[in-house]
Amino acid sequence: MINSKRMAKRFQDLVEIDSVSRHEFDVSQAIKKILIDMGASIYYDTAKDQVNGDCSNLVAKFKGNVNVEPLFLSGHMDTVEPGNNIKVQFKNGIFTSDGTTILGADDKSAIAIILEVMDVILENKLDYPPIEIIFTVCEEIGLLGAKYFDYSLMDSKFGYILDSIDTKGIITKAPAANKIKFKVFGKAAHAGAEPEKGINAIVVASKAISQLQLGRIDEKTTCNLGVIKGGVATNIVPEFVEIRGEVRSHDENRLKTITDDIVNTFYDVTQNFKKTLQQDLLDNSDLPRVETTIENDFPSTNIPDDHRAIVLARKAADNLGISLESKTTGGGADANIFFSKGICAGVLGTGMTDVHTLKESIDIKDMENAAKLVLEILKVHVSGKIF
């Protein structure tokens, strides 16, 4: 029943509407028109004011024709850079860009799939449950749409987010993450004439970084320093450097421990560095010093395999002859934020590959399979026969 040509056309149309983070208004209007034509009730929250964008989260509600518990389907409208003026190529069933931009299958494949499922339901007059469709903004820059979403607009307590690769997997576990920012302050001086009068902030930071364990800490925990900015010129002892990084873990206690260890390392190195300085640099000065900012970027997700969302999805997959495996990811998604609000969202795949790169692609067959699975999930939910 899935109309592949219609879904492919809609996907291409949506992809070619620019919607990098904070600029989702145009694509939102195109989606809104499609949903209104389907008979949905449309709502926007006020997230744009918090994310400093031109568009808020879009919610579409379908009443359904069977009195069962509502569920939601979701994806995000924004894309990463370079995501403007995308020119879609479609050859041998594979979508790509022209190589100068990303494709935007992350996450417009989700939008096209969800809209196609609703088209199939309505045109074939199928039984279906109350459905809430949530298309978020600014997912790619910190899950901001989900963080500022007005959850009073939702009645559903479980559902599915289409924002993964594997069409035969459902993500049930994702880590929590802390963002860390260090500001290291030194003292400027002429690097050639009198370097002895300076305190090199980059050197202080480097000593701290050299003592850290980065990358994979253990099977549940990772750590990365990804941005460093500082210095003015090669002939000036740098008086300031900023370092930004993150810690992720599936274990909340481990997340705190590793975060604390990193922070303590920076403070200890800064204090020890003072012992190496000349006395005249120490007089009436608190330099070098470090300032630290820690922000919880997103909480963890941990959905048990016996949760109705997982059981329902697996039953639907089984009906289609698919073995749907529970997956653990190291990435974050809107599902993490939903989970912290008491709303369980299994993350399903659409088949997108090489996301966030110029080589991004997606096979229309994978989109078809994803649409079939979502449609079957809705059918099984209506039937109530999940065992």
Q: Tens digit of pLDDT for each residue in 71-101?
A: 999 999 999 999 999 999 999 999 999 999 9
Give the whole-angstrom CA distance, residue 168 versus residue 348. Answer: 8
Segment 101-129 shows an average pLDDT of: 98
**Domain 4-174+300-383 in CATH: superfamily?**
Zn peptidases (3.40.630.10)
Q: Tens digit of pLDDT for each residue in 158-184?
A: 999 999 999 999 999 999 999 999 999
% of the chain residues with pLDDT over 90: 95
Q: CA 88 → CA 31, 131, 343, distances in Å?
A: 19, 31, 35
- Rounded to two decimals, the pTM is 0.93
Give residue 93's pLDDT: 97
Indicate if 177-298 has the same CATH topology as 4-174+300-383. no
Give the whole-angstrom CA distance, residue 248 versus residue 219. Answer: 11
- The pLDDT-based confidence of 20 (bands split at 50, 70, 90) is very high
Q: Are 329 and 174 in contact (CB under 8 A)?
A: yes
Give residue 284's pLDDT: 58
At 259, list the tokens.
């975060």
Give the whole-angstrom CA distance, residue 122 versus residue 107. Answer: 24
139 flagged as catalytic: yes
Catalytic residue of the set 24, 45, 78, 140: 78
Report how far Cα 194 is from the mean position of its chain's Cα atoms.
48
How is the chain split into domains, by residue range?
4-174+300-383, 177-298
Segment 221-250 shows an average pLDDT of: 97
Give the whole-angstrom CA distance, residue 19 versus residue 31. Answer: 12
Give the whole-angstrom CA distance, residue 30 versus residue 28. Answer: 5
Q: Tens digit of pLDDT for each residue in 321-337?
A: 999 999 999 999 999 99
Q: CA angle at residue 75 from 54 to 154, to 5 degrees?
A: 85
- The pLDDT-based confidence of 243 (bands split at 50, 70, 90) is very high
Q: Where are the alpha helices (DSSP H) in the chain?
A: 4-15, 25-38, 47-51, 105-123, 144-147, 201-210, 252-274, 279-282, 308-319, 334-340, 364-383
In 3D, which of 61, 55, 67 has the Cα closest to residue 36?
Answer: 61
Catalytic residue of the set 107, 139, 363, 368: 139
251 flagged as catalytic: no
Q: Look-up: residue for tokens 């607009």? A: 153
Q: Taking 90 as the threshold, does the pLDDT of residue 123 lie above it? A: yes
Give residue 285's pLDDT: 74
Q: Are 105 and 95 in contact (CB under 8 A)?
A: yes
- The pLDDT-based confidence of 297 (bands split at 50, 70, 90) is very high
CATH topology of domain 177-298: Alpha-Beta Plaits (3.30.70)
